Every structure is written in structure tokens, then in C-alpha cells.
Amino acid sequence: MYYYLDTNQKPTGPFTHEELRSLLQKGAIFPDTLIAQKGADTWQKYSEVFPDEAACSDDLPPIPDAMKKTTHPAGHCPKCGAEILTERDELPLRCLTCQFPLRPESSTNVASCLRHSFVQYVGIRGRARRAEFLWFVLFYMVTLGVMLQCLPSLYDLASLLLFIPSISLSVRRMHDTGRSGWCIAAPLLLQIVGAGICFAGGISTIIHVIRNMDQPDLPINAIISPLLIAGLIVCGVAILAELYYFIIAMFWDSQRGPNKYGPSPKYPLAKPEV
């Protein structure tokens, strides 16, 4: 029984020798496809395992462009020293020669992402992948929803405990897209300033209303304080900025390669973007 590696470097099978030959004739696999017998220690090209059959493959259909592999060296395995080839900017999960893990297999699953978010509870250094941000947002919404419905007395405490890591994670997500963490912090500070201006404008408006209670026909623009209007405008601008950067954090892919905030957790082998 044999397995072969597909274009995503995932083992597919098992197949008998005859089934593999049929796949070769149909163009589903090719002479340079890596195969391994069940229980084998290494992967080999089909042409190396069955040279006679590969030599008769000239009449096979051409390899589709989407299936062509453009590999490039990405270093050597720390365990066996074999050269590591990659088709993308990500390291393969395991060394094809000795199966030594080259990067975490669960880097984007729920448990790994949430664990990393809470380990970096107040850490704003480094970068955070889009998957980590998306899973935390989902966890944030579900947790607060459950607290509001089942344990409303703990809602405020849960909001406070989750607010801090949400800010630090948002800052690292901005770093991952090549942006400063102030993209998140500045709108928050602006919103606080706007709320303060609104409060001052509201107090001024109330005082003005009390002083002019004997003038019921006074126009509303003469009653409302300009500070209140200015505060509302500042808050509106801050909310729009927060929404804009939230959309970037949700949908913007990681910047390839290292940047001034650290190495890329998604594309560690890519060259830095200019």
C-alpha cells in the first residue's frame, strides 16, 4: 500500500501499486510526485520507485499549471539535516524525510489562538495573526452574550477582564499588518476626549436651559452648547476610525516577512515587503 503527497503536502491514500499506476495514467499524479510505502521512513519520487513506469510517461497529458510545483530551498531540518523545500512562504508542517515537526500544526486552531491571546494578556510587542484576532472576537462576543443572559451580575467584571487583552491583541494585529498600534489607541483616546467634551457641553446646556426657563420660545441652537456639538463630532470621528481599523484587523492579511515589529507568524520565510 502506498501514499502520495498532494500539492498541499498532505498524505493521500492508501493505494495499491495498480491504483497508483492508474492515477499516473490519468494525470492525477506525476513522475515527480512523492510517494511512500506504508511503514517507510522516507518519501521518494514516483520515478525513483518505479523507474520503468515513469519512463513510459511521455504520452501522459501535460501537467496543469495549477499543479506545477515551484519549490525553493528554505533551510535544513534541525533533526536529520535534509534540505527543506517549500512551494509557498510557509514552512511545511513536517520534514518529508524524518517527519520532524517544523512549525506548530495547531497555530490557527481555537485553543492555540485563545491561549496565546491570554498569555499575551497585556503584551503589545510582536505580531498577531488574523486567525488569532478572529477567534478572540468570537470568544469575546459569545462570553459577554452568555454573561448578559445567564449571569448579568458578572457582566461588568467579564467586560473589564476581556477588554484589556482585546486592546493588546488589536495592537499586535495592527503590527502584523505593518501599522502602528496607535491606529487602535488613538481612536480610543479621541473617543474619551470627545466624551469629556460632550459631558462639559451637556452641563453647559443644562445650565443654559435653567437660566432661560422664562423664555420658552428661545431657538434650540441658542440653547445647545457648541461644546456638546463639538464633542459629538469628535466621538463620531473616533467611532468611524475604530470601525475602519477593525475591518482592517478582520480582513487584512499578514504582512509578508519580518517588519519593525518582529518576524511574521504566518510568512516567516518571505522577504520583507517594501
pLDDT for the residue 102: 61
Task: Please give the model's pTM, rounded to 2 decimal places.
Answer: 0.61
Instruction: Count the residues in the chain.
Output: 274
213 and 223 inside one domain: yes
Q: How far, in whole angstroms, is CA 110 from its chain's centroid?
A: 12
pLDDT for the residue 105: 47
Are the beta carbons of 208 and 161 closer than 8 angstroms?
no
65 and 20 inside one domain: yes
Instruction: Give the domain extent around 211.
Output: 179-250
* pLDDT tens profile 103-112: 554 456 788 8
10 within some domain:
yes
What is the maximum alpha-carbon separation in the chain?
Answer: 105
8-state DSSP, 133: H
196 and 172 inside one domain: no
The CA-atom distances, in angstroms, between 249 and each of 107, 137, 177, 235, 260 are 18, 11, 8, 21, 18
Are the beta carbons of 171 and 127 closer than 8 angstroms?
no
The ranges of the chain with pLDDT < 70 are 7-8, 54-78, 83-96, 99-108, 216, 218, 220-222, 268-271, 273-274
266 within some domain:
no
Give the whole-angstrom CA distance, residue 123 versus residue 224. Answer: 43
pLDDT for the residue 67: 47
151 and 199 inside one domain: no
Are the beta carbons of 255 and 262 closer than 8 angstroms?
no
Give the whole-angstrom CA distance, residue 167 versus residue 184. Answer: 8
* Count of structural domains within the chain: 3
pLDDT for the residue 179: 93
Instruction: List all residues 6 or more positions away from 95 whose beta carbon is below 8 Å from its beta carbon.
Output: 77, 79, 80, 82, 84, 102
190 and 227 inside one domain: yes
